[in-house]
Amino acid sequence: MVQGQDAKAQVGTARARGRPRSFDRATALRKALMAFWAHGYEATSVSDLTRIMGIGAPSLYAAFGDKRTLFEEVVRVYADTYGAFGDRAIAEEATARAAVVRMLHEAAAAYTDPAHPYGCLIVHAATNCASPEVERPLRERRNANIAAVESRIRADLAAGLLPAGTDAAALARHTGAMIQGMSQQARDGANREQLEALAEIAMAIWPRG
């Protein structure tokens, strides 16, 4: 009798695993992205997520893992979509200066777009976060972005497009500080025109070849 019950349980489990999800995963993920972007990792609870995503906790865990795993996926999606303008500028523009000009102006537009939360998720989502496992990857992403700008500046130096002696590391960090500062300004209510004015001032210190 016990063996028969075990067999039935296995069949039931197989059927449960084979059932299609009753929600659209991509839609639920986008809702989670918006929640983390607006409120940050620490302030967004699992109960908040299930309510916003319109799913139960068992469905959340089955589809996305725990809260931290869901957040890691959200960060990857954000970096590949809303936050991809910096990588595109570096890849597509002919010089480091042109790439940074484009990056700052696109940041001004992206960070103040009312279609989604203001600012940058990668800058703000782990503010006051007590978990190093959550905060560290975002810090690494921010530093990697600065390193990419520095690499591009060094390439221009080698090509003679910037004056010899230009401090590539400091100039790249200045760009990172502007990007991160513009994100905070957007969160504090600055509009696109105000951030674009900051971008123009930021570029005034760039050396010309």
Q: What is the pLDDT of residues 41-73, one digit of tens each?
A: 999 999 999 999 999 999 999 999 999 999 999
C-alpha–C-alpha distance, residues 134 and 153, integer Å? 30
Above 80 in pLDDT, residue 84?
yes
Comma-separated ranges of CATH 1.10.10.60 domains in the chain: 25-66
Whether 60 contacts 96, CB under 8 Å? no
C-alpha–C-alpha distance, residues 43 and 89, integer Å? 32
**151 pLDDT tier (thresholds 50, 70, 90):** very high
Task: Determine the pLDDT at residue 21.
Answer: 59
Comma-separated ranges of CATH 1.10.357.10 domains in the chain: 82-205
- The DSSP call for residue 23 is S
Structure tokens at 147: 């390193």
Q: Which of 178, 179, 181 is nearest to 205 (CA)?
A: 178
Is 25-66 in CATH node 3.10.200.10? no
Percent of the chain with pLDDT over 90: 85
Above 50 in pLDDT, residue 29?
yes
C-alpha–C-alpha distance, residues 194 and 54, integer Å? 37
Task: Determine the pLDDT at residue 69.
Answer: 97
What homologous superfamily is domain 82-205 in, according to CATH? Tetracycline Repressor, domain 2 (1.10.357.10)
Task: Determine the pLDDT at residue 128.
Answer: 83
Above 90 in pLDDT, residue 202?
yes
More confident residue, 102 or 6: 102
Task: Determine the pLDDT at residue 118.
Answer: 98
Q: Which residues contact 43 (CB under 8 A, 6 or more apart)?
A: none
Whether 145 contacts 176, CB under 8 Å? yes
